[in-house]
Amino acid sequence: MVLNNFALIAGISPQEVQDWFHTAFIDGYDWVMQANVIGMGQYADGGMMASKPYAASANYINKMSDYCKRCTYSPRSRTGETACPFNLMYWDFLARHYEKLKNNHRMSQILRNLERIPAEELAQIRKGAAQWRNEHLHSEHPLPSTPTEHGSSDPTPQSVS
């Protein structure tokens, strides 16, 4: 789920993620991939399998596992040299899909936390995430029915409040 989480928050195409899992794992059967990758992990079915995106920050990963134990990144920092990329992508994911997620009652508390992030810090998060995607991804996949600004895929930071 950690790999699926990062793919979701980074905006990697769900079909590309599913294809990669098929290739990388011997137990990557269609009946597993459709439900686990497309539905639950990527929320690419628009919420038919899961009632909210399974998106997590480094802080959650740190609490639920020992993956962060020896990592040089800080699971609590959102910006800066030691900030974990999971945090950068997580908060950017929430900001990118704010309009789509704001009516989901299961997302209300975390979206309130997003709204509390100072505009300057959120702009820094959005810029860093866009830079990472530009360096590493060929495309960004929006959540189903997520409107884009004037039909573009411009990652320019947008106001949340």
Tokens of 113: 């936390």
**Would you state the pLDDT for residue 25?**
84
**Would you state the pLDDT for residue 61?**
95
Residues 39-64 as b or e (16 or more Cβ within 10 Å = b): bbbbbbeebebeeebbbbbbbebbee
Q: One digit per residue, pLDDT tens: the chain, 161 residues?
A: 899 999 999 998 898 888 888 888 888 778 778 888 888 899 998 888 889 999 999 999 999 999 999 999 999 999 998 999 999 999 999 999 999 999 999 999 999 999 999 999 999 999 999 988 888 766 555 655 544 454 444 444 444 44
- Only one residue has tokens 């079909």, namely 15
**Would you state the pLDDT for residue 10?**
93
pTM: 0.81
Q: Which CATH number applies to 2-151?
A: 1.10.10.1710
**Would you state the pLDDT for residue 19?**
87
**Would you state the pLDDT for residue 145?**
52
- The residues spanned by each domain of the chain are 2-151
Using CA atoms, how far residue 118 sits from 28, 97, 106, 123, 129, in Å, is 42, 18, 23, 9, 17
Longest CA pairwise span in the chain (Å): 45
